[in-house]
Amino acid sequence: MAKNSYEKYIARNVINVMDSMSSVRPEVQNSPYVTSSPDLLKVIEGARPNFALYYVLKEGMFLERPHYHTNDEYLMFISSDPHDMKNLGAVVQVAFGEEWGKVEFSTSALVYFPKNLQHMPLHVKNMKRPFLFGHFWPMGEETNFHPGK
């Protein structure tokens, strides 16, 4: 196909390999993933979002320590079964705030963290099948990750 002026809006070869979910449990692995790395954002003119999307393949604790962002963040948990999109196929526990208020769910879900709200850890348990996980925030600043207390 001939290239045209819209090619600047397409990034190709966007698959990356992820390290284990936890350095404590190196056997826990996720699938390769698509993310908005700084190099990828240079390819698409004007792109600024920060996102990642991948399959969670095994249960365990996510690597990120408690933190917050100076903008809103969204986490997506999406069933991999096209015939049962409501059933996530795992139980997910998310911690909110400095007190680590825990919320659990086992359905496909969108989780919202308002700006400056500390969040994590995130724990996947009782996994019966892989599911899609993604995070998104509209501002692409690389330094927008602030350690929590």
Is residue 30 included in any domain, yes or no?
A: yes
Q: Are 53 and 34 in contact (CB under 8 A)?
A: yes
Q: Record the pTM.
A: 0.76
The predicted pLDDT at position 139 comes to 64
Q: Domain containing 58: what range?
A: 15-147
Domain assignment present for residue 5? The answer is no
CB 44 within 8 A of CB 9: yes
Residue 43 lies in a domain: yes
What is the tally of structural domains in the chain? Answer: 1
Cβ pair 120, 64 in contact under 8 A: yes
Whether residue 95 contacts residue 120, with contact meaning beta carbons closer than 8 Å, is answered with yes
Residue 2: inside a domain: no
Query: 115-138 pLDDT, tens per residue?
Result: 899 998 899 999 999 999 988 877
Residue 102 domain flag = yes
Domain membership of residue 6 (yes or no) is no
Residue 32 lies in a domain: yes
b/e sequence 111-133, b meaning 16+ C-beta within 10 Å: bebeeeebbbbbbbeebeebbbb
Q: Is the pLDDT of residue 90 over 80?
A: yes
State how far the Cα of 115 lies from the Cα of 15, in Å rounded to an integer: 28
Mean pLDDT, residues 72-99: 92
Please indicate, yes or no, if residue 8 is contained in any of the structural domains: no
| CATH number of the domain within which 90 lies | 2.60.120.10
